[in-house]
Amino acid sequence: MINNETHLLYSVLCYEEGHCRRTQHILKVYALAKLFGEQEKISVEDQQILQAAAILHDVAIKYCKEHYNGDASQNNQKQVVSILVTRFLESANYLPSYVPKIIELVNCHHDYDKPKNKLLQLLMEADLIVNCYENRPDHKKAEYIKKIFQTDGGKELLALCLKKEME
């Protein structure tokens, strides 16, 4: 029997239709978010919410590119996140109580300057590390990113990611 997280991950990867960058990005953010949640010893429920949010964190990009003349801006994504995330979670039989929490994480994962709860912090750190590997930030951007990190594991992995860039 396939569990809901496996179903969700498979569904999102199929939805991306083999798009190389987005598919790999999803898998990397998912793996790091899982790692960070386990390192921080969050509850089983919070771990499930975090991992689902990691799988879905950029799900609106494809839809926006197709329906808004290629404009996948944060503003456009936030307009469709709720509908898309709800559809995917319902299809994977997630508990209804999880849905608004996951939507909130997906909606806010780029709101770096706003107050964050633990799950949002972990998702942001996972996404930012992957983004740094995919698109090397310049020195000024790297310094800004470093200030966002709060967890020891996230700080350490970010430092390793940026190490080669700073040498």
CA geometry: angle 143, 161, 72, nearest 5 deg: 75
Say if residue 13's pLDDT is above 90: yes
Whether the CB-CB separation of 83 and 99 falls below 8 Å is answered with no
Mean pLDDT of the chain: 94
Whether the CB-CB separation of 94 and 120 falls below 8 Å is answered with no
Mean pLDDT to the nearest integer, 124-148:
96
Instruction: Give me the number of domains the chain comprises.
Output: 1
Say if residue 11's pLDDT is above 90: yes
pTM (two decimals): 0.95
104 token code pair: 């909130």
Q: How far apart are CA 126 and CA 131, in angstroms?
A: 9
Q: How far apart are CA 94 and CA 99, in angstroms?
A: 7
Query: Which of the four pLDDT bands, split at 50, 70 and 90, describes residue 6?
Result: very high
Say if residue 116's pLDDT is above 90: no
Query: How large a percentage of the chain has pLDDT more than 70?
Result: 96
Query: Which of the four pLDDT bands, split at 50, 70 and 90, describes residue 1?
Result: very low
Q: What is the pLDDT of residues 64-104, one digit of tens each?
A: 999 999 898 888 999 999 999 999 999 999 999 999 999 99
Say if residue 165's pLDDT is above 60: no
User: For residue 3, what pLDDT is reported?
Assistant: 80
Binning the chain into helix, strand and coil, the percentages to the nearest 5 are: 75, 0, 25
**CATH number for the domain that contains residue 75:** 1.10.3210.10
Whether the CB-CB separation of 33 and 123 falls below 8 Å is answered with yes
Say if residue 50's pLDDT is above 70: yes
Helix axes 4-15, 44-56, angle to 10 degrees: 10
How far lies 31's CA from each of 37, 74, 96, 102, 147, in Å?
Answer: 10, 23, 24, 17, 22
Full domain range(s) for residue 57? 4-166
Q: How far apart are CA 164 and CA 19, in angstroms?
A: 28
User: For residue 73, what pLDDT is reported?
Assistant: 87
